[in-house]
Chains A and B, each alone.
Chain A
Amino acid sequence: MHDILLLLRRLRSLCIKELLIIFKDPANRLVLIVPVVIQSFIFGYAATYDLNYVPYVVCDQSRSTLSRDLVARLDGSQKFSRQATLESTAEAEEWIYDGRALLAVQIGSDFADRILSGRNANVQIILDGRNSTTASIAQGYVSQIVEAWNSGLGHKSPVTIDVRAWFNPQLETRWNIMPGMLASLSIIQIMLLAALSVAREREQGTFDQMLVTPLSPWEILIGKAIPPVVVGLAQAALVLLVCLFWFDIPFAGSYVDLFVALGVFTLSCAGLGLCVSAISLNMQQALVYCFVTLLPMVLLSGLATPVSSMPEAMQIATYANPLRFALVCVRSVYLEGGTLSDIAPNFIPMLAVAAVTLPLAGWLFRNRLS
């Protein structure tokens, strides 16, 4: 009993000290809060594959009622914005080439004749493929509009597709990215804090002072892991607030489940960070190693591009990436209303990472010194 009391007392002092070191410096405080908030706004607005502004040019050689009607349909949609009406295809090509228009619509001179004579008429579109994803989406929009126009002519296809999307009815990228930010933004700070915490103490000589106290390596490890986890969870909460109250993304699951998942996730990140910290000799190395591990983790997490479209080998490699599973958990809880039992299988890889990295870091603390 007495031992446990002593243990708790030591841990308490250690955690208080770690948090004080992080928060005492006003520059540090700023660095921990401001960028996260700014980034969640910027990402919320900018990280979107949704295309709602398509600058385009028209080269209507048909100059018929029909062609004008078709173009009017394009203009009528919220997304298309006509930049110019041109005489020749060559001119249109120039607009694309200079990046002033994302697509050019070219309607041949026989367009009306062909339609009226009951034949099919081509509508040529030229897309700027420099960003092929955007171009594909724009192409889809045009097809939809032309399809609708066709049915207006009485060519109703015998089959209509009734599309419904679960969990994200408007298929907004923001709904996908922002919950992902809960985990992705905090992992950066957790890793940096954890990685710097030991490296800094080592560089400043305070680590020796700590090693001669009755703290065991385990206690140091726990003391070093808790503050980054707390900071990470606090940052996640900050991003959550932005998601909920600024971007109005509806929350489908339970907050408890969300934070349980984030807790497991942050623990594994802290383990990774502490390992990096224990390996590096100074702060500079810690920062660099941290960065070198962070970048692939974020890229291969499924944050911006789905894991399922990665090659098989890479998909297997991502099992070591806690962020991948954290994203699955967060999105599941946030958007799909997943419960703990739904997301529990994702905990296994994350816990496995924590179970490897934390003891490794603990061992490295004591044995790297000499």
Chain B
Amino acid sequence: MTTERTNAAGQPVHSLTDRTSLVVSAHDAGKIFREKKTSVTALCSLSLDVPAGSMTAFVGPDGAGKTTFLRMICGLLAPTSGTLLVLGLNVADHAAEIQSRISYMPQRFGLYEDLSVMENMNLYADLHGIPGPARKERFARLLDMTDLARFTARPAGKLSGGMKQKLALACTLVRSPELLLLDEPSVGVDPLSRRELWAIITKMVQEEHLSVIVSTAYMDEAERCDNVVVMHEGSILAQGSPEELRKLTQGLCHATSVPVGMKARHLQAWLLDQPSLIMDAVPEGSHVRFVLPPEHGRNGIPQELISPCSGNIHLKVEDCTGVTPRLEDSFMFLLRHRQASAESSGAEEKILSPSQDTTIPDALPDVKTAPFSPRTEDGQQNSKEAVIEVRDLVRKFGSFTAVASTSFSVYRGEVFGLLGPNGAGKTTTFRMLCGLLPATSGYLRVAGENLRTAAAQARTRVGYVSQKFSLYGNLSVLENLHFFGGVYGIGPFALRRRIREVLEEFDLTGHEHDISGAMPGGFKQRLSMAVGMLHKPEILFLDEPTSGIDPLARRVFWRRITTLSDEGTTIIITTHFMEEAEYCDRMLIQDAGQVLALGTPDDVRRQGGSAPTMEEAFIHIVESSRAARAAAKEGA
């Protein structure tokens, strides 16, 4: 199978390809949504060829048009301009035929929650007309791959998030389609399930030569594909093989070890605060990885980073080593570059400065902080005051133990990660801490009180940002802020002042009157944070705040967390991006209600067989505990 490459800069290289060997061929395809008065351009004249038998990934920030394009490919939305051929057929005229030949797994897959796993699969098999013997064979294979064989009688609504996604994939794959479309299949899925999910996809591609198009926020997933399409604001920023895209940042990627007594996130924050010198920085292992802009990076580490004119942080040349680029580096590079050129097309020639342009939702905004002057680790050690104490916490649902005898403490100003696979009990722990769920037994103190039983006033000391957007979608930004400010009892004048502050802090100024539910995901996430921080809580609970968010927006998010934590806010966070655990001071890994690991990222990595990345360490820890449990069961 020959795959047609394109040049990295973006435009497809049109060659004498046979049109029918292209599963998708878009030519100037555009999509404009028309509401009553306004019209929103979701896609602007997109041209793209996807060859058969390949895996293609769509990556890009929120609102880039990935989902719209996928829906157009499967005929759910009609292009408003240009042509779009799928399997050689024009989508506009042959939607029904295309739909019977492709499979599509939407972001929010419509599993029937009151039907069992088997009933869901049978429904889709019936719809696709899979005959009895073939079905039996296929189901056996799918159930084996998804590891759902034990749960066939369980209602889909009672499965964990990861299992639901696997079931959705199984339903999508009841037959071998000519083209498989997956819209963010791994959002909200833990690393283990994610790996399993991708194992299924890869296996299917190998065995059945499927053509796959997947949209994703995970760059490591995109890296597995033959072809990556970077989208931004409805157009294609770049496309090519991962290798070609990685070449963009060849020689620009470096890693530095973190000086003793300094936190990786502080070094990273400092680097990110030098936007003219640094394209991207991210903590990794016990290092901080950073990408230099081409104009500086070709000549090695810029002098300004080694001997800065102010501040007490600087890089040492001997600590830095060049590293091989990853797709994420190039992705960040492309987005920052785009951002810069969008600005420079305005007036002055300013390269890669922090964005003032709020129309680009995921631009790094000015994070309003004083220049860095971090306290030393020792200073914090001294003021070690436990704000959260949990001892022997147990929560049972009927006979099922969701959280078994868990103990840990969180100290003031710490960033504390709560990690674990789907269904491990971390959400249950989280909800008990917030007082949303009573504990079955055990000792639980948050800011000195049990929030479940304490006076309502005690809850002013915590802030909460839930997993999915849970503010009032039909109210405007300002109305939401006014409501929450009011219920936290902030006086009218103080509230007005505070709202101005958070609007600025979370880069929402100018959007006060937007309807919050209609804003892009990045805005919603910032608004949720703004609401969580409105009353300046001592402790901030964040439940998977970065789920489904692209790397650029995640950098901004974590840069804020670093600032908040330096201001003394204690932060409890859950995440499925294991590399984000690197930002935490300490973390807890749970599985099946048990505590598997508790300690600093370095501790956890060591426990995980000294794995180079957090993800590998995590998988190692969870799998070895599961194996131990299985062995214990067999022994008994």
Contact = CB atoms under 8 A, between A and B. Distances in A.
A212 B472 contact: no
A219 B487 CA distance: 10
Given A10-B486, A10-B487, A13-B485, A211 B436 contact: yes
Interface in A1-45: 6, 9-10, 12-14, 16-17, 20-21, 24-25
Contact of B474 (A24, A205, A219, A370): A24
B434 A213 contact: no
A17 B475 contact: yes
Interface stretch (B246-254, B327-335, B454-462): B454-462
A206 B489 contact: no
A20 B515 CA distance: 12
Contacts of A20: 472, 475, 479
Interface string A190-215: 00000000000000111011111111
Contacts of B431: 208
Nearest to A212: B464
Contact of B471 (A10, A209, A212): A209
19 contacts: A9-B486, A10-B486, A13-B482, A13-B483, A14-B486, A16-B483, A17-B475, A17-B479, A20-B472, A20-B475, A24-B475, A205-B466, A206-B470, A206-B472, A209-B466, A211-B435, A212-B434, A213-B459, A213-B487
Interface in A117-147: none
Contact of B488 (A24, A206, A213): A213
Contacts of B437: 369-370
A216 interface: yes
B371 interface: no
Given A9-B491, A25-B474, A209-B471, A16 B436 contact: no
B486 A6 contact: no
B436 A9 contact: no
Nearest to A25: B474
Interface residues of A, number: 27
Nearest to B480: A17
B486 A12 contact: yes
A208 B467 CA distance: 11
A193 to B, nearest CB: 15
A209 B464 contact: yes
A12 to B, nearest CB: 6
B487 A208 contact: no
Contacts of A17: 472, 475, 479, 483, 486
Contacts of A12: 486
B468 interface: yes
A354 B464 CA distance: 33
A214 B438 CA distance: 17
B97 to A, nearest CB: 35
Contact of B484 (A21, A25, A213, A219): A213
B473 interface: yes
A21 B436 contact: no
A21 B459 contact: no
Nearest to B537: A212
Given A13-B485, A13-B486, A16-B483, 6 more contacts: A13-B484, A24-B475, A204-B470, A208-B464, A214-B487, A216-B456
A279 to B, nearest CB: 18
Interface in B413-438: 431, 434-438
Nearest to B483: A17
B456 A214 contact: yes
A-side binding surface: helix, strand, loop or mixed?
A: helix
A25 to B, nearest CB: 6
A226 B169 CA distance: 46
Interface residues of B, number: 36
Interface string B534-561: 0000000100000000000000000000
A219 B464 CA distance: 19
Contacts of B484: 13, 213
A346 to B, nearest CB: 36
A9 B475 CA distance: 19
Interface in A220-241: none
Contact of A205 (B457, B468, B482, B486): B468
A3 B26 CA distance: 63
Interface string B471-504: 1111100010011111111010000000000000
Contacts of B467: 205
A24 B513 CA distance: 13
Contacts of B434: 208, 212
Contacts of B459: 212-214
Contacts of B468: 205
B470 A209 contact: yes
Given A206-B470, A212-B434, A21 B487 contact: no
B474 A206 contact: no
Closest 4 CB pairs of A and B: A13-B486, A205-B470, A17-B483, A212-B464
B460 A212 contact: no
Contacts of A9: 486, 489, 491
A278 to B, nearest CB: 16
Given A20-B479, A208-B470, A209-B464, A215 B436 contact: no
A205 B471 CA distance: 8
Contacts of B487: 10, 13-14, 210, 213-215
A21 to B, nearest CB: 6
Given A21-B475, A214-B488, A208 B466 contact: yes
Nearest to B432: A370
B486 A16 contact: yes
Contacts of B486: 9-10, 12-14, 16-17
B620 to A, nearest CB: 33
B399 to A, nearest CB: 15
Contacts of A16: 482-483, 486
A369 B484 CA distance: 21
Q: Which of A17, A209, A370 has the most CB of B within 10 A?
A: A209
B401 to A, nearest CB: 15
A208 B483 contact: no
Interface string B438-465: 1000000000000100001111101010
A14 to B, nearest CB: 6
Contacts of B462: 212
Given A209-B464, A216-B456, A369-B437, A21 B470 contact: no
A16 B475 CA distance: 11
B95 to A, nearest CB: 29
Contacts of B460: 214
Contacts of A208: 431, 434, 436, 464, 466, 470
Contacts of B473: 204
B58 to A, nearest CB: 27
Q: Which of B434, B472, B484 has the most CB of A within 10 A?
A: B472
A209 B435 CA distance: 11
Nearest to B457: A214
A212 B475 contact: no
A213 to B, nearest CB: 5
Contacts of B474: 21, 24-25
A343 to B, nearest CB: 37
A205 B472 CA distance: 9
Contacts of A369: 436-437
A52 to B, nearest CB: 46
A219 B457 CA distance: 12
A10 B472 contact: no
Contacts of B438: 370
A370 B440 CA distance: 11
Contacts of B485: 13
A199 to B, nearest CB: 15
A133 B632 CA distance: 79
Contacts of A204: 470, 473
Contacts of B531: 209
Contacts of A213: 459, 484, 487-488
A365 to B, nearest CB: 12
Given A17-B475, A21-B475, A369-B437, A214 B489 contact: yes
Nearest to B541: A212
A14 B436 CA distance: 19
